Amino acid sequence: MRSLLAFVLAVLTAAAPLAAPAASPAPPAVEQDVRGARDYEDLPRMDGARIRAWRQLSVAEITLPTGPVAEGAAPENALRLQGQISHLDYAIRPAVAPIDMARHYEEALREGGYETVFACTGIARCGSGMGSLILLSDKVAPAGFADGVFNDQLRVVVARKGSTWVLLHMTRGPDGSLVYQAVIEGARELD
């Protein structure tokens, strides 16, 4: 009996070093872009950004704000366009300041030859209905497409180069920054 106990103890002692690596924590997973997603060539992403959602529509309609949007009202300052639309939803971790996001994208737009049609910062300048129009109305981002944080760190930019339009909705949340981007190529105005 004593030799059986010694044998079991010897086997367990020899196996203990083999089990130790399995108990160590796994390295953190690298978050990947959603399958099939790609950046728009004129708008390189910020460091730390990943694409959480991406959709490209061959022909669709979109409403772009060209001025502040009041809560619950149909936007008076808006442009309805039809064209090929790419929707992208980025998450940036760790969070970056909205002014840094705006500078990054405004520089990319300027270098790409775009002119800014409308830009605003905060609820007072963008209007209390801007976030709802862009993220919840299904007139800009597809329903349920992009997550949004509704706070006063909101920044919106609408820019144009020829028949290509760009809309950027940028904000900072508690654990990261969010960028919703729509690019409309071959746009034509409706109504």
Query: pLDDT for 129-153, tens place per residue?
Result: 999 999 999 999 998 888 777 788 8
pLDDT value, residue 47: 92
Instruction: Measure Cα distances from 179 to 25, 85, 152, 162 in Å.
Output: 32, 16, 15, 23
**C-alpha to C-alpha distance for 159 and 77, rounded to whole angstroms:** 15
Residue ranges in the chain whose pLDDT is less than 70: 1-31
pTM reported for the whole predicted model: 0.81
pLDDT value, residue 144: 84
pLDDT value, residue 191: 76
pLDDT value, residue 7: 43
pLDDT value, residue 151: 81
pLDDT value, residue 17: 43
**C-alpha to C-alpha distance for 37 and 7, rounded to whole angstroms:** 58
Parallel, antiparallel, or unpaired for β 78-92 and 115-121?
unpaired
- Tell me, what amino acid is at 42? D
